[in-house]
Chain A
Amino acid sequence: MAGFDKVVSSYEEAMAGLEDNMTVIAGGFGLCGIPEGLIAQIKKMGVSGLTVVSNNCGVDGFGLGILLEDRQIRKMIASYVGENALFEKQLLNGELEVELTPQGTLAEKMRAGGAGIPAFYTATGYGTPVGEGKEVREFNGRPYILEPSITGDFAIVKAWKADRYGNCVYRHTAQNFNPMAATAGKITVVEVEEIVEPGEIPPSQIHTPGIYVNRVIKGNFEKRIERKVTRSA
C-alpha cells in the first residue's frame, strides 16, 4: 500500500518544503476546525513573508494568530479579522497587508482554484469597494464582477478522521473551509484526530477524497472555544 500511504509521523515531514514567501491556504472558521499542530510547525520553522488565505486570522496567542508574533505573515486574505489585537497593530503600522474578501467569494475562490477554474463571475461585491477595478459583465440584465480563484503552495487542513490513503471526514461545523482548502494546495497536508485503515470509512461518506491529499498526520488538539454560550438544562 506504500504508493497511496499518505501518513507521515512528524510535523517536520508534514510541512517539509514550506519556504519564505509562499502562499498557505488554511481551513477553519474562527478557532473551529483549525490544524493546530501544522500552524505550530509553521511558527517553529520560522518561515516569513507568507501569504495566508483563511476566513479569519485566529486570536492573540492561538490559531493563525501565533504566526503574527514573529511577523511571519506578509499578507492575509480573509473575510473577517476582528478578533486580534496584534493583527490590528501590524495592519495599522503597515507590517501586514490585508485583502478583505466576502466569505462566499473566499470559499468559491478556493473551490474554483482547486477545480482548475481560474476565475468566476459573482454578484457579490458589485458596486462596493470589493468590486472596484474588477471586470463587470451583465448576465440576464444583472451585473456581476469577475473574481480570480486562489491556489496555494500549501493547504493546511483539519479533519476528524482520515484513512491512510488520505480520504477524510470532518466533524460537525469543523468542516467549514477545510474541504475547499484541501483541493487548492499544491501540497495538501491534513491533520486529523484519528487515522484509520482504508475501507473503515464508508466510501459514500468521505468528504474529501484522498486524491487531493499529499500528507496525513495524527495531531493532538486543544480545540479552544472562542465564545462558549450555554443555556440552563
Chain B
Amino acid sequence: MALSREQIAMRVAQEFKDGSYINLGIGIPTLAANYVPQGITVMLQSENGLLGMGPYPTEEQVDADMINAGKETVTASTGASIFSSAESFAMIRGGHVDITVLGAFEVDQNGNIASWMIPGKLVKGMGGAMDLVAGAKNIIVTMTHADKHGNSKLLEQCTLPLTGVNCINRIITDLAMLEIRDNTFHLLERAPGVSVEEIKQKTAGKLVVEGDIPEMQF
C-alpha cells in the first residue's frame, strides 16, 4: 500500500546520521523532524538564520523575534546559533549542510528538479529552494510517485521550469525509494505491499531494477 505522508517522513528520517546538519523544507520534509531515530542527534537549519531549531514554543515561550523559515513561531535547541541571512546561505551554498529534504513537482533521470513554478499559475517565488539544491551535498526529494491523474512525476526530462540541474540523488515517494545515478533511476526499496510492476508502471523515466527489491522497514 502507498505510504502516508507520515510514513514517507519516517522513511526520510531513517536516512539521518548522528551529528548531521539538516535543512527540512515545508510540508512532508518538516514532519521528518518528529521521527529522528532513537540515539541519533541532528541539528536542524532554518534558512532565515537559525541552526539548532527546537520544538514549537509553549504559549509562554512565544516570541515574535523567534520564527522558522515557514514564518511559524519556534524555539532554539540547546547549542543553537542565530545569524544573518547571508551567513545562513553561506552554510547552504558553501556545502556545509549535510542533508537537505524538500518537496518537488517533478524530478528527472538527470537529477533535475522542478518545484517552484507552474506556468499559468501565480508564481509566489522560489524562496531558498534554488540555493539549497545548488549547495547541499545530499538532497532527498519527497513527493508522491504520480499525480492524482496517475501521471508519473519521475520523468525522462522535467517539463516544468527547473529549480536546479543535475543535483538530486535520492527520492522517497509514497511507493518507493530510488537513487539517481548515471542518468537513470535505480529502485532501492519499495513501500510495503507495493509491487515492482506498479513502480515500473508509474515511473516514466529510465528505471533500473536490480535483483530483489526489499520492502521498507518501519
Q: Which residues of A contact B (CB under 8 A)?
A: 29-33, 55, 78-82, 88, 91-92, 100, 102-108, 110-111, 122-130, 160, 171-180, 207, 223-233
Contacts and interface: CB of A to CB of B under 8 A. Distances in A.
Interface of B: 46-50, 55-60, 62-68, 70-74, 76, 82-86, 88-89, 92-93, 112, 117, 122-131, 134-135, 161-166
Contacts of B47: 103-104
Contacts of A100: 123, 125-126
Given A177-B84, A180-B85, 5 more contacts: A91-B122, A104-B47, A228-B62, A233-B58, A233-B60
B196 to A, nearest CB: 32
Nearest to A227: B72
A231 B55 contact: yes
Contacts of A175: 49, 82-84
B74 to A, nearest CB: 8
A30 B71 contact: yes
A49 B175 CA distance: 51
Kindly list the 8 A-B residue pairs having the minimum CB-CB distance in the complex, ordered from nearest.
A104-B89, A82-B124, A104-B131, A127-B165, A80-B125, A223-B64, A107-B85, A102-B130
Contact of B126 (A79, A172, A179, A232): A79
A178 B88 CA distance: 13
B163 A128 contact: yes
B89 A107 contact: yes
Q: Which of A55, A80, A232 has the most CB of B within 10 A?
A: A80
A178 B84 contact: yes
22 contacts: A29-B67, A78-B125, A79-B125, A82-B125, A103-B127, A103-B131, A104-B93, A107-B89, A123-B135, A125-B134, A128-B130, A129-B117, A160-B65, A172-B82, A174-B65, A175-B84, A224-B64, A225-B73, A229-B74, A230-B73, A231-B55, A231-B57
B124 A172 contact: no
A179 B130 CA distance: 22
Given A104-B128, A104-B131, A227 B70 contact: yes
Nearest to A179: B84
> Chain B binding site: helix, strand, loop or mixed by DSSP?
loop
A228 B127 contact: no
A228 B130 CA distance: 27
B102 to A, nearest CB: 13
A122 B128 contact: no
Contacts of B129: 102
Contacts of B93: 104, 108, 122-124
A111 to B, nearest CB: 5
A172 to B, nearest CB: 4
Nearest to A128: B162
A32 B67 contact: yes
Contacts of B164: 126-128
A172 B72 contact: no
Contact of B85 (A31, A103, A233): A103
Contacts of A231: 55-58
Contacts of B125: 78-82, 100
B65 A227 contact: no
A161 B107 CA distance: 46
A231 B74 CA distance: 10
A65 to B, nearest CB: 14
Given A126-B134, A175-B82, A180-B85, A102 B128 contact: yes
A113 B131 CA distance: 19
A107 B135 CA distance: 15
Contacts of B58: 230-233
A173 to B, nearest CB: 5
A229 B65 CA distance: 14
B48 A173 contact: yes
B94 to A, nearest CB: 10
